[in-house]
Structure 1
Amino acid sequence: MDNSDCYYYEHSWKTKLRLLGRQMRKLLATLGPMKLRRRRAGYTKIETEDEQQGWRETRSTFPPSLLSFMPLDRIFVDREPDGIEVLREWETEKRYRVMDASGESLFTAVEESSACARCCLGKCRSWDFHVLDKNRREVLRVRRAFRCASCCFPCCLQRVTVHTDRGELLGSVTQNWNVWRPSYTIRDAADVPVLLMKGPICLCCGGEVDFLIKSIDKQHGVGVITKKWSGLAREFFKDGNSFGLGFPVDLDVKIKAVLLGACFLVDFVYFEEQSNMKRLSKPI
């Protein structure tokens, strides 16, 4: 190979490199500058996807106060009886103890409502529940406005909203009009339906009462809220209800918090009247 051939091949190789460089620059100009999304300070980002479980893919950012919900697939909610309320016809603010599967206390939920509303409106009253951690710091706030308890009129259906300690909306639980059985929709912060919750037709029988939680298309079972039966003597004399709440461990922690608010709502709407009857049956 003489010098002229070497010059030709070298020139051809450099030309191809220049053409390739031009094509790469055009491609980058078409795509535009890449933007990196910064994480919000103090927040943790998770991504989960499981289309077979029946709930939609979740990409959520949540405050660190909700990290306690991440490893949980079951929690137990126990309404703490108040000594004055048990002995007298005096409606006091409710308190709940939230525990994990091992019985370790996670949170304490304390009701905030007026004495006039508790005495005059009963279970229809408006309230705020402050969910506190072990250090007495507020983690969640569950709010409910005044609502009539009758299922015959669709003009005043039940609704609770769940917020962080900073007031950020996590989601809501809204009642669906149904004269036969309890029916609710679990919604996220954007008011998009995420899950459905349905209770039994009859709630007056003894034994455990299950409120089934399903996917929005009703094809998959996602969880359950169970009102525990503690035995006849304890159910009659103890002014307190116990609930079990089960859900997938990889469910969005925001929806887990909303389901805890649904547990409070279920107790007030369907089992508060039974507690009042037990209290009124006691001699003064």
Structure 2
Amino acid sequence: MWDIKFTNKLIEEVVRGRHVELFRLLNAHDTIPNLRYDIERNHDLMKAVVGWSTGYAPADVSGSAFLMQRELQWFEVKKDESDPSSESLKFEETDNRSGKTYWEVFVEQRKGLLQEASQWMKNTSSSCSFVATLITTVAFAAAFTVPGGNNDNTGLPIFLKKTSFMVFVIADALALFSSITATLMFLAILTTRYAPNDFLRSLPRKMILGLTFLFLSLAFMLVAFGSALMIVLSERWKWIYIPITLLAAVPIVLFAILQLPLYVEMVESTYCPRLYRPVKIWK
């Protein structure tokens, strides 16, 4: 059904143009039978993967760091687990007499992208670590200045037996632990060596974990603040929990609208990239 020359040219153009959906479709139906161990074809595909255009900016990738990750995924998807030679292919020299391997050419052509991705990671981690540190400071201080104060005789909190007080204590503790964990994740990013391979899994995973714990610490801080208001004001206004709940929902809704799509895209790109998932439109 498939002419070998046509198939070679098709898959080469798909890879060169970085057409993810077309690649998933071709990969799903194995439209290139008996070519997997074709050495000449493997070299042609590696050239297509290594090739780079500075103006390339796919619409489904956010930021230079995840563009670098996508490029590394294209480089990795060329490997075939059943063929050990596909792993060694990237360390073979190109045929342009430069004496450089495919991997060296791949990295050299993306030096600018690598610098932009590293700077993006540093700037994002610095900003997020600053926010996480602020939350840690507030949560730590709140643990020793509980709402209502302490009993002068026993030293125990006055509202210790109230349910809302226990909610405050638990939420404050979770906010403290989450913000500290987020700070450690961002510090791990700031102190990394920013090697090209780090952008494939290591750095994106650390960024996702850091953002996850940062978002959790913000949510727990909102719960702690809301419960503290309920402790102080519930005796006078029994209905105070209604406006508190509504106001606390505003940041959550804003996050869902503004940040959640990007966060989901980051998680999908790192843990379940579309490039590795073939798509079948017929059986």
Instruction: Determine if the TM-score, normalized by the shorter chain, exceeds 0.5.
Output: no
For Structure 1 versus Structure 2, the TM-score category normalised by the shorter chain is under 0.3
Which structure shows the higher strand fraction? 1
TM-score of the two chains, using structure 1 as the length reference: 0.23
Higher relative contact order (CA 8 A, sep 6+): 2
Q: TM-score, normalised by structure 2?
A: 0.23
